[in-house]
Amino acid sequence: MSRPAANTMIVEAPAKVNLFLRVLGIRPDGFHELETLILPISLADQVEVHAAADPNFRTLSLSLDVSGEDELVRGVPRDEANLVMRAGLALAERTGVLGFADIALDKRIPPAAGLGGGSSDAAAALAALNELWECGLDGPSLREVGGSVGSDVPALMLGGPALARGRGEQVEVAAVCPLSLVVVTFPFGVSTPEAFRWWDEAGAPTGPEPGPLLEAARLGMERVAGSLFNDLEAPVVRRHPEIAEAKRSLLDGGALGAVMSGSGPTVFGVLAGPDARVDRRIEEEIVGLTGRPPAYVTAKGSRAR
């Protein structure tokens, strides 16, 4: 059977950091109730989607190709364990669409890093497939499909800073000032379910009410830098003390504040402005600790809300 005429879309899938991550407790379904402020950053994967729907095309055919540096792509699944494939299947199931999609991921975001790479790839693929398959789902419906794929996916579909609640799927646009950040990644990953389990086992505490932090995030770098927190950080640091060392290095090197992102191990620091850098000596210390230099990124911010 010949394939229908297809179109191609190339979409950026930004990484995210969590300016705060508050774990309220475990729920009966095993997920944890959260409050978190998710901020897309300028580090991004590229997602190329070549696809078409065809009512005469009696099957649904999805393919995935993954490229990028060896170290980044080694652990990235090519099958249905990849959130991009799950996103395609979930959208097809929701809409009944038949056809095909060939998806190519160019990875630049480290996996299992707390940077939301897999979730953002899925968010980008859903937006592209909704267009190319002409599904016609509106934002909330498409985010509902995203939520069935992963807890971080709906927030990354908002296209800007997002306040997420529930298990992460209840999202609203948040007002956040533009930020300059330094990001330290590690040559190992942390599994999200494990990080949450460690929080449970430690009986770890819940961070402060986010009202003042949300106000600080709207107002400026200095204000927000002092109030960053992540309830998963202490239990993850207990297993990976390098995270605390990296955080200390960033603060010694001039970052205004620093915290672990998501379920880790990535640590980021807030800098005083777009041209700010941590000391050269500290950059070398970080290379010694992680085997890679820190990355300087920006977050656009949003005035909405």
Q: How far is the CB of 276 from ligand C5P (least distance, A)?
A: 32
Q: Is 227 in the site for ligand C5P (CB under 6 A)?
A: no
* 16 counts as catalytic: yes
Q: In angstroms, rounded to a whole number, what is the distance separating the alpha carbons of residues 246 and 249? A: 5
Q: Which stretch binds ligand C5P (CB under 6 A): 29-37, 95-103, 211-219, 267-275?
A: 29-37
3-state secondary structure of 22: strand
Q: Is 151 in the site for ligand C5P (CB under 6 A)?
A: yes
* Pairing state between β 229-230 and 7-26: parallel
Q: Is 100 in the site for ligand C5P (CB under 6 A)?
A: no
Distances (CA, A) of 231 to 35, 196, 248: 10, 10, 17
Q: Is 262 in the site for ligand C5P (CB under 6 A)?
A: no
Q: How far is the CB of 187 from ligand C5P (least distance, A)?
A: 22
| DSSP of 172-217 | EE--B--EEEEEE--SS---HHHHHHHHHHHTPPP---SHHHHHHH
Q: How far is the CB of 178 from ligand C5P (least distance, A)?
A: 28
Q: List binders of ligand C5P among 154-213 (CB under 6 A).
A: 167-168, 192-193, 196
The catalytic position among 16, 45, 107, 121 is 16
Reading the block at residue 123, the tokens are 């968010």
Q: For ligand C5P, which is the closer residue by CB, 253 or 262?
A: 262
Q: Say how far residue 58 (Cα) sits from the centre of its chain.
A: 35
Q: For ligand C5P, which is the closer residue by CB, 32 or 223?
A: 32
The catalytic position among 106, 121, 152, 231 is 152
Distances (CA, A) of 61 to 3, 5, 53: 11, 15, 10
Q: For ligand C5P, which is the closer residue by CB, 186 or 196?
A: 196
Q: How far is the CB of 199 from ligand C5P (least distance, A)?
A: 9
Binding mask 34-73 for ligand C5P (x = CB under 6 A): x---------------------------------------
- CA atoms lying within 13 Å on the CB side of residue 244: 10
Q: Is 31 in the site for ligand C5P (CB under 6 A)?
A: yes
Question: For ligand C5P, how many residues bind (rule: CB under 6 A)?
Answer: 11
Query: Is the four-CA dihedral 11, 220, 254, 266 of positive or negative sign?
Result: negative
Residues with Cβ within 8 Å of 166's Cβ and at least 6 positions away in sequence, in order, are 33, 34
Q: For ligand C5P, which is the closer residue by CB, 36 or 302?
A: 36
* 152 counts as catalytic: yes
Contact by Cβ (8 Å): 156, 117:
no
Q: Is 291 in the site for ligand C5P (CB under 6 A)?
A: no
Contact by Cβ (8 Å): 198, 240:
no
Q: How far is the CB of 46 from ligand C5P (least distance, A)?
A: 22
Reading the block at residue 139, the tokens are 């934002």
The residues that are catalytic are 16, 152
Name the residues that contact ligand C5P, by CB under 6 A. Answer: 31-32, 34, 150-152, 167-168, 192-193, 196
